[in-house]
Structures are given as structure tokens and as C-alpha cells.
Amino acid sequence: METGIHELTAGYALDALDPDERREYEAHLADCERCREELASFWRTTEGLAIAASGPAPTPELRGRILESARAEAQVVVPFEPRRRRTVPALAAAAAMAAVVALAVGLWAARLSGDLDDARSALARERAAAAVLVDPDSRTVALHAGEGRLVVGPEGDAVLVLDGVDPVPAGKTYELWIIEGDTAQRAGLFPGSDGTDVVGIDGRVGDGDVVAVTIEDAGGVNAPTTTPIVASEPV
Amino acid sequence: MEALAPTVLALPDSRRSWPMRRQHAHLSDEALVALVARRDENALAELYDRVGRIAYGLALRVVRDDRLAEDAVQEGFLTVWRTAATFRAERAKASTWILTLVHRRAVDLVRREERRRVEPLPDDNATASGPVAEPTDEAAWLGFERERVQSALRQLPDVQREAIELAYYGGFSQSELAERLGVPLGTIKSRMFAGLARLRELLDESAQEGSWKPEFTS
């Protein structure tokens, strides 16, 4: 039967399942990682089919109508998957907002400097950070030192959201650490900014680990040499 | 998820560099959805500017009526507005998600209408016409992608292409297709799966052969 229901992935991606089978498949999807991955890749294929259908543009009024209707109704949170009700923790949502603002500033700066590669990698980091911040399964961990919070995704991807970390002095950098027991693993550098900093952590953060930030010489060092200005509670 | 990353259909960065004063033009689609979840109308507008045209083309292909197609797009985007907080970036790109929502609405609408059942099947060339008026990077990219996907579709065995096109563009369910084509339901399911898997393979291959490069001229 496993193969039978797996085969329905194509029909589901094409919106071609009959109602009963669609419900059966959605129930199965909640428990089958293999089907979820297959569906994700089939959806990319159907996006191609959508693009292949492109033709004339809609009337210009459509945009206004959509925005007007959106404004007119109170936003109701309806679960995308009715069987697995999900809500975004308020903190994560607030963090996502802060992330977008902070990353926007970073991206804008990269654009101004004319460095497209920087802008692209910033975009990739932004996507990764946004993914962790909006994932309802992410956990928020308080900071033991410093202002802000650590958001950890289900796979250990983590984002540090920091308030009140000033731009680092010339010749210095902020360096991130994942501390497991008494070993500190390098987890990236960032310059700090006047506003909220949203910093993706390089590497996976495991249970019991602590994420910390120290000020080091530009370029970073292999082991922390100063007292952390930011440290999370153990994850 | 990185292994599944779509080299194939990634929308070009040129979409983000239109010289307009758009507040959110520099944000990723996924970041925009996060903002929409916070009820940011500008973010919804920006998503519409990026995906609305493709969504409309898709809806029109399914419902074959301007008015109904706009209804499907509108309802799809309102679903985005209402449910953005539930979007999970690791499962699908935001553009894919939006197109899925619009497609579902279009299929719902066409299944309610009886018209499609008596009309002839769409001709590939019929929709391939109508190059976009303005010679933008976006239009060039769309034209390139459209041709690439259509060429991949043409390489599918006839029965597989037929199953996919009737389902996705025609809005027929699997059981409706089995009846219409006079073959067992199991055969339809197999054709659809084999066809979509093959199409995915062909698109991956053609993406590796070379892809359209946006030009950063200004």
C-alpha cells in the first residue's frame, strides 16, 4: 500500500486527486517524510507547468482589488494543513519582523557597495534565517547575557536576534561561538549595527549547547580570547 | 533541503532589481511572506508584482475566462494573506506555494463550471503565443522558461503528457480522466506519476545544459 499512496504524490501536486484520496493522502503526508520531499520536488515541476502557461497580463485593476479585499478583511489564521494545526509563536513572529528589517538594511548596504555577490549571499542567508524564524517548530531560547534571543530550528539551524549591539570598532569583529561542554566552535563573524542584528549561526546547535558572541580582532580567531558580551541559556 | 534546491526554476535576481521605488523590492519572496503574516500590505503587493502575472496565466489556462481567472488569482492571493503564518519555507518556495493556491482555486472554479467539458483540448501553440509587450528581463526570462518547459513536455510519451496536461491545465481529476480516456484508474495514476517524474528529470537536465542569464545592465 505504501507504494500505492506514494504514487498519489503526482496527482496531489497536479491537484488531480479525487476528494477521498486527497484527504487520505494529506493524512499520510503528515507522517511520511519521503512523500513530503517528493511533493516538494514535484511542486517545483508544476511551477514549471505554471510558467509554461504564461500569456497575457491581467487587467491592472486586479492588483488594487486584491489589496482592497486584503485590507477589508481581518486576517484570519487558517492552518495550511488542517490536520496539523500550527501557530507561530509570538516571539518567533516578532523576531521574523525584526529579521526582515535588519536584513533589509544589510542587503541595501551590499547593493550600495555594488557587490552583487555579497548581495546574493546575503539574500541566501536572509532566506535561511527567515526560514528558521517563521518555522513554527523553532524554539526561542532566552539570553543569559545580552539583549535579544536565540531561535533554534528543528534541525539545529539557529539565528541570533540581538538588540543593542553597536557596530564593532575598527579592526575588530564580533565572533559567534557554539559552545558544547568546554569546547567553543567558530560559528561566524558579523559587524554589528545600530539596529537589531539578525545573525545566522554557521553550524548546528545541539541540545545543551550555548551560543555566545565575543569581540575579537578583525578576521576572527580560532578560540575566544575575551569574555562573551552575549551568551544564550543552554539550548 | 539543499540537495533539492531548484536550479531549474529559480526566479532571476533581475526581478528584484527593477528600477522602481518599491519598498520591499530587495527582500526574498520568503521574507515577504513573513511580512504578509504580519499584515504588511506592501509585502502582499510586492508578491503580487512578482508572481501575479504567472498566476494569472495559469488560472486563465485552466478556467479559460478572463473574469474567472482574475477571481482565482484574487482568491489565491487572499489565501496567502490569510494563511501566510502557516507557510513553511522548507517545504516549498513562496512562489511555488502561491501558484499552488491559485491553481487549486482555478481547479475548484472549473470543476464547478461545466464549460470545459465540452470545449476542445488546448493546443500547445495556442498559449505559446502572445509574447509580452515590454522587453524586460522578466519577459525574456518567462519566454525562455516557457519554451524550456514546453520542449520538455514534448519529449514525454503521449499518454503521459496527455494525463499531465488534462489534469493540470484541464482541471480533470484522476477518476474523471479514467472515465474520459476509457482506461483503468490505476493506469491514470501510473501515467501521471511516471510523467511528472520524467518531466522533473528533463527539466533538471535542461537546467544544467544552460540557463538564461539576466543581464545587469544598469
Higher pLDDT, A101 or B148: B148
Beta strand pairing call for A139-145 and A147-152: antiparallel
State the pLDDT at residue A113: 38
**φ/ψ of residue A81, rounded to 5:** -110, 105
Statement: residue A204 has pLDDT above 80: yes
Predicted confidence band of residue A225 (pLDDT cuts 50, 70, 90): confident
Residue range A183-199: average pLDDT? 81
If DSSP codes are grouped into helix, strand and coil, which group holds residue A218? coil
> Cβ A63–B74 below 8 Å, yes or no?
no
Question: Of the candidates A8, A16, A41, which has its C-beta nearest B167's C-beta?
Answer: A16
Q: How far apart are CA B79 and CA A98, in angstroms?
A: 24
The residue extents of the domains of chain A are 2-69, 90-232
Residues in chain A closer than 8 A to B81 (CB atoms): 70, 73, 75
Q: Which one, of B29, B97, B10, B2, lies nearest residue A155 by Cα?
A: B2
Residue range A151-166: average pLDDT? 85
Amino acid B190 reads S
> Cβ B78–A73 below 8 Å, yes or no?
yes
Residues in chain B closer than 8 A to A65 (CB atoms): 70, 74
**pLDDT tens digits, one per residue of B41-83:** 889 999 999 999 999 999 999 999 999 999 999 999 999 998 8
* Torsional sign, CA B36, B55, B6, A121: negative
CA–CA distance from B156 to each of A8, B168, B199 (Å)?
A: 19, 15, 7
> Cβ A51–B53 below 8 Å, yes or no?
no
Is the separation of the CB atoms in A141 and A149 below 8 Å? yes
Complex ipTM: 0.81
Q: Is A18 on the interface with B (CB under 8 A)?
A: yes
Predicted confidence band of residue A195 (pLDDT cuts 50, 70, 90): low
Residue numbers of A between 110 and 139 with CB closer than 8 Å to B: 111, 116, 120, 123, 126-127, 130-131, 133-136
Q: Is A79 on the interface with B (CB under 8 A)?
A: yes
Architecture of domain A2-69: Orthogonal Bundle (1.10)
**pTM score:** 0.59
- List the single residue in A with minimal CA-CA distance to B123: A53
Residue range A104-123: average pLDDT? 43
Half-sphere exposure of B211 (CA within 13 A, CB side): 18
Q: Is A98 on the interface with B (CB under 8 A)?
A: no
State the pLDDT at residue A119: 47
State the pLDDT at residue B150: 94
If DSSP codes are grouped into helix, strand and coil, which group holds residue A166? coil
Rg (CA), chain A: 22
Residue range B190-204: average pLDDT? 96
Residue range A163-183: average pLDDT? 86
Residues in chain B: 218
Domain B21-117 shares a fold with domain B120-210: no
State the pLDDT at residue A88: 43
Question: Which of A119-123, A202-206, B161-165 has the weakest average pLDDT?
Answer: A119-123
**pLDDT tens digits, one per residue of B151-176:** 999 999 999 999 999 999 999 999 99
Domain over B120-210 is classified CATH 3.30.465.10: no
Q: Report the mean per-residue pLDDT for chain A.
A: 77
Q: Is B4 on the interface with A (CB under 8 A)?
A: yes
Q: At what angle do helices B41-63 and B66-83 cross, to 10 degrees?
A: 140
State the pLDDT at residue A84: 36
Q: How far apart are CA B143 and CA A57, in angstroms?
A: 14
Higher pLDDT, A155 or A120: A155
Q: How far apart are CA A26 and CA A82, in angstroms?
A: 9
Predicted confidence band of residue B23 (pLDDT cuts 50, 70, 90): low
B21-117: CATH topology: Rna Polymerase Sigma Factor; Chain: A (1.10.1740)
Q: Is B96 on the interface with A (CB under 8 A)?
A: yes
State the pLDDT at residue A146: 87
Q: Is B192 on the interface with A (CB under 8 A)?
A: yes
**pLDDT tens digits, one per residue of A63-97:** 999 999 998 875 343 333 333 334 444 444 554 54
